[in-house]
Amino acid sequence: MITLLSWAVIILAVLAAVRLMRIYELSAELRGGKPQWEITESDNRMNAVLMMVFAIAFFAFCFWVFFITKDKLLPLAASVHGAQTDWLFNFNMVIITAVAIITNFCLFYFAFKYYKGKKNDAATFFPESHKLELIWTVVPGIALTVIIFLGIKLWNNITAPAQSGAIVMELYAKQFDWIARYAGKDNVLGKRYFRLISDTNPMGMDPTDMAGNDDIVVRSEFHIPKGKEIDFKLASRDVIHSAYMPHFRAQMNCVPGMTTSLHYIPTITTEEMRKDPQVIKNVKEVNEILSAKGEEPYEFNYLLLCNKICGNSHYNMQMNVIVEEPEQYEVWISKQKTVGESMTALLTVPIADENRKQIDALIMEKK
């Protein structure tokens, strides 16, 4: 019934608009004069002025949005290359902002200045100028060369292999959460095989690979030490996910069937970041909103989130990243259970002979 009424209202509104339009046109005809579609000088003047008004309002709007959001943006980069990324971003941003403002201004200003009217009834015939065209091919060419050079230099720097001695760990993605695995004392990740995955062995760890014995598996949060390079190996067991750690300006896709990697050196501990003025301000704002909703207060944490559409709960696939001083990190990691410890329990208790045979067969098949 409501649907029917809604449609009736829509149809009546359209009919009324058509009638109104007709009345307007008839009255315009009665007043005489030119056809409605001919552009008059007053049309030109009005739109020319509006172009200029728009230009000013547009620039004002852009700067206003920038000022109201600038403290809500990502805080200071918390990794070595992140700081370089931010510098390059700002450098490029200055150039493109200047270009965008100057060219937009010329566009709207010329539109404003050269409208057709009694004072400006004839255009200047100006079909080409090789000099001008050369200038605006070469000048952007030079600017872009600088941008390309700096960009590729940083890119090579970020993607160069991690230093030897970096802490190796794996971020393993699945619908819809993350599992983090440390390579342990030997700094070598034990092998996995997707056919070994079960409820109790969610990553499909291979129990016969001794390198995996000292691995440490954690969920919901992982800890890393400040000032040490972390070499992340990324994997997924179902669809493509993307490990995005915005505070470190780091991201890499997790692709089923292959291993990808990224590495960075964290430079600011979680505790230190919580004392950053911008972070304090943001957390305060967030907590005001949360308390109005009657929710728990929030404390700042670095995040790992999924940034590649991966299914219905893509929007809620997260893990906290805790950056600590190396000593604190050592204490934390030494308290974690190794795979060996939990795997023994796993292999002895629930797996009866038949399952055991199945696993062996799978391992053989893989080899």
Site residues for another protein, 247-266, by CB under 8 A, read 247, 249-253, 255-258, 260-261
Give me the residues paired with residue 173 across strands.
Answer: 178, 236
Q: How far is CA 35 from CA 48, 185, 214, in A?
A: 21, 85, 85
> DSSP letters of 217-233?
EEESEEEEETTS-EEEE
Site for another protein in 270-299 (CB under 8 A): 282, 285-286, 289-290, 298
> What are the φ/ψ torsions at residue 176 (nearest 5 degrees)?
-130, 60
Subset of 340-359 contacting another protein (CB under 8 A): none
Asked if 5 touches another protein (CB under 8 A), the answer is: no
Nearer to another protein, 72 or 357 (CB): 72
- Output 261 or 342, the one with its CB closest to another protein: 261
Can residue 6 be called a binding residue for another protein (CB under 8 A)? yes
CA distance 290 to 283: 10
Least distance (Å) from another protein to the CB of residue 353? 21
CB-CB contact of 319 with 304 (8 Å): yes
Query: Which region among 105-113, 215-223, 269-277, 322-330 touches another protein (by CB under 8 A)?
Result: 105-113
Binding-site string for another protein from residue 144 to residue 163, where x marks contact by CB under 8 A and - marks none: x--xx--xx-xxxxxxx---
Residue window 32-71: x/- pattern of binding to another protein, with contact defined by CB under 8 A: ---xxxxx---xx--xx-xx--x---x--xx--xx-xx--
Select 104 or 338, whichever has its Cβ closest to another protein: 104
Q: Toward another protein, which CB reaches closer, 42 or 334?
A: 42
200 near another protein, judged by CB under 8 A: no
Determine if 242 is a binding residue for another protein (CB under 8 A).
yes
For 171, list phi and psi in degrees, rounded to 5.
-110, 120
From 94, 114, 331, 337, residue interacting with another protein (rule: CB under 8 A): 114
Minimum gap (Å) between residue 347 Cβ and another protein: 19
* Segment 313 to 342, residues that bind another protein, using CB under 8 A: 313-316, 318
Q: Judged by CB under 8 A, which of 15, 16, 17, 210 binds another protein?
A: 17
Nearer to another protein, 213 or 242 (CB): 242
Q: Which is nearer to another protein, 157 or 163 (CB)?
A: 157
Residues in contact with another protein, counted by CB under 8 A, come to a total of 128
Encode 225-253: b = buried (16+ Cβ within 10 Å), e = exposed: bbeebbbbbbbbbebebbbbbbbbbbebb
How far apart (Å, rounded) are the C-alpha atoms in residues 241 and 115?
A: 53
In terms of Cβ atoms closer than 10 Å to its own Cβ (0-12, 13-18, 19+), residue 263 is: buried
- Residue 346 phi/psi, 5° resolution? -65, -45
Q: Considering only residues 76, 308, 347, 351, which one is a binding residue for another protein as defined by CB under 8 A?
A: 308
C-alpha distances out from residue 232 to 334, 338, 353, Å: 20, 18, 36
- Residue 198's contacts (CB-CB under 8 Å, 6 or more residues apart) are 204
